[in-house]
A and B are shown apart, each in its own frame.
Chain A
Amino acid sequence: MYDNPDLARTTVTRDIKIAAHGCQVFYGDTHAIKDVDIDIEDKTVTAFIGPSGCGKSTFLRCLNRMNDTIDICRVVGDIRLDGEDIYDKRVDPVQLRAKVGMVFQKPNPFPKSIYDNVAYGPRIHGLARGKADLDEIVESSLRRAAIWEEVKDRLDAPGTGLSGGQQQRLCIARAVATEPEVLLMDEPCSALDPIATAQVEELIDELRSQYSVVIVTHSMQQAARVSQKTAFFHLGSLVEYGETGHIFTNPTDPRTESYITGRIG
């Protein structure tokens, strides 16, 4: 079923980065997320898996309040980042999104140069002290996204002219450049070929040393390869959440077992 379950993964408990309790999401009259409780750990890759339409992307978008941009969407419940309620009235969603970065399913570079794409976040948040500082941020972000060698000679070329895999790594560099604490990835490899997917997965593993990474994926092999913790969603509910090795080899819920063995979904 999966190529490397890695049962011997360390299972030390890390700090809780995001804690959600009793989270409900409604799209108009549709109850999309039902009473989800989850603690996402720091410096960990957490995978959300589940069949299409089970609400994993919706829940992911709750974590940086991207659902605010959808008029009919309503979020109820308690989601805390470092113990602070992110849906509190005093919280500025713009500030929150700078702390909780997001990479989307389809690569979406801005129609600007590669340099300007990466410099976008640092510029609007005033993270660079000057041109030299900005250059450094851009270079280190591109290096961390494992794309620096490919683009260093054409930073002025438009980001839209790169290949799909390069575009997605550029988007990751762009997200990394704002120095977020959490990185949300919504099916980041679904538009990529296997080679680009392998590059992005390797990158996700490296990012784990600094960030808490949450990744939504349709590929169970991918979840098994890159994540330490896995959450299985079904019909808007969180069915099971635990160590990735445990979920894939010894699921407690029969629905989880049916899904990972390919019987539902």
Chain B
Amino acid sequence: MPVLWLVLIVFALGALGFVLGRRRALGGAGGDIRLLHSLPSYYGTNVALLTVVPALFLLGIWLLVQPIVVDAKVSALLPDSAISEGTTRDLVMSDVRRIAEGLDKAVAEGAMTHAQARDIRAEFTDVRNRLGAVGVALGSRVGAPELFAAQRYRRIAGEGSLAMTGAVLALALGGFALSLIRTTPSFRARNSVETGIRYVLIFAATIAVLTTIGIVLSLVFNTIDFFRLYPAWDFFFGTTWSPSFGGGSDLGILPLLWGTFYISIIALAVSVPIGLFAAIYLSEYATPHVRAFAKPMIEVLAGIPTIVYGLFALLTVGPLLLKVFGQDGVGLMQAGTAVVTAGLVMGIMLIPFVSSLSDDIINAVPQSMRDGSLGLGATRSETVRQVVLPAALPGIVGAILLAASRAIGETMIVVLGAGAAANLSLNPFEAMTTVTAKIVSQLTGDADFASPEALVAFALGMTLFVITLGLNVFALYIVRKYREQYE
């Protein structure tokens, strides 16, 4: 049975449980809701929750675990002789899975019967051709052990799915029946629902945390692979970045890190003053009328996709800067793509981050502070400079750090605005590139996935992740410290 149907059935059962639970509770109290411990809908919700949640939880776990178990079982069936020179058990297993999928598809499209799929033998049938006919391309001729393993794979997976359907339905029905029996007017349904909701929320939070850990782990393993092939010292302290896909590349991160920081610093130099001043104007000077109009206008900037900013850098800002600083003007700039182009455009992109966050933080400074200062005969700007800003400073620093981690992670503007050359230079009119832009180019190239030239992308990603994580943690720490002051 397809998983979708299973989920729908469980939900239908849950809906039915809601109706029946509610009715049973009301019936038990003779229709008088004052005799019930909880409101009738709580009894219904209790039945629905006990029906749906454990069943879906089991379904999720089963779907995660089953492929691992089946893989392990089938893998044990493959004789060592089936694993030829130059390949690994993992690669053969992925072939096996493909063959199994192909057989499933052939059966579904009617090219084979169930019995054929179960019984065909590689010795008599050209499985590759038959599966090719239904659109499943296989790399090489299918050998007898692989086909046998694939057929076993199908059988075990089929049995597993059947068992899963049974178990999930049984659990749903069990929860349904048990909770319906327990539904009496004195049953504390409200408390039970409260507990249930808490577990659902905990589950959601756990998934978010586990995903983060999963992302980190996927980076970590590839990074370790990379450092097996390439010395860590040369990676972290090398000053040249020249990957050549034939091997023998120099993969020093320093030029990329320098490009990242240089562009980010220019971006912050643009966005922090403009964003901060805009926030001060909006929160301290603007009339409610102006504020209601201007704040959304600034926040529109945050909604523009970064690729559009990239085009803006490439087509407008670059040529404009070239006209002023290029050969016809000051003579400092060679081409439109340069650190300063990307930095300026990224700065514009960051303005709403800085201004919106700072605006919230400035507004959180109690009005009594301003009154106190104004009441002593200070002007508005004196009040802002000497009372409001110092009080809001930790929060503003937090906002700037969040903007900085955003700048460090930005890719599209750099690809289009700053060029692709990895330079270690102080000249802002030169083309440079950043860590993120190089991650893209290393992974989209033709390099073998197991070569250091491709794996370096993960090491770059990991480095970037650690840097931005550090910035974010620091920013959150500062913001939290600030909150404690007034609450």
Contact = CB atoms under 8 A, between A and B. Distances in A.
A101 B391 contact: no
Contact of B287 (A64, A71, A121): A71
A102 B288 contact: no
A142 interface: no
Interface string B361-385: 0000010111111111111001000
Interface in A94-152: 94-99, 101-102, 104, 106, 108-112, 120-121, 124-125
Contacts of A95: 377
Contacts of A110: 369, 372-373, 386-387, 390-391
Contact of B375 (A106, A109, A175): A175
A198 interface: no
A106 B391 CA distance: 18
Interface string B270-310: 00000000000000000110000000000000000000000
Contacts of B391: 110-111
A43 interface: no
Contact of A174 (B288, B376, B379, B382): B376
A109 B372 CA distance: 8
Majority SS at the chain B contact face: helix
Contacts, number: 70
Interface residues of A, number: 28
B444 interface: no
Contacts of A104: 368, 371-372, 375
A66 interface: yes
A111 B366 contact: no
Contacts of B379: 94
A171 B368 CA distance: 12
Contact of B366 (A64, A101, A108): A108
Nearest to B366: A108
Contacts of A121: 376-378
B374 A97 contact: yes
A175 B374 contact: no
B485 interface: yes
Interface string B399-436: 00000000000000000000000000000000000000
A178 interface: yes
Interface of B: 287-288, 366, 368-379, 382, 386-387, 390-391, 485
Given A64-B375, A97-B375, A124-B382, 15 more contacts: A97-B377, A98-B376, A102-B371, A104-B375, A108-B369, A108-B372, A110-B390, A111-B390, A111-B391, A120-B376, A121-B377, A174-B372, A174-B376, A175-B376, A178-B376
Interface of A: 64, 66, 69, 71, 94-99, 101-102, 104, 106, 108-112, 120-121, 124-125, 160, 171, 174-175, 178
Counting from the closest, the 6 A-B pairs by CB-CB distance are: A98-B377, A102-B375, A108-B368, A97-B377, A108-B372, A121-B376
11 contacts: A66-B371, A71-B288, A95-B377, A97-B374, A99-B377, A108-B369, A108-B372, A120-B386, A124-B382, A125-B377, A178-B376
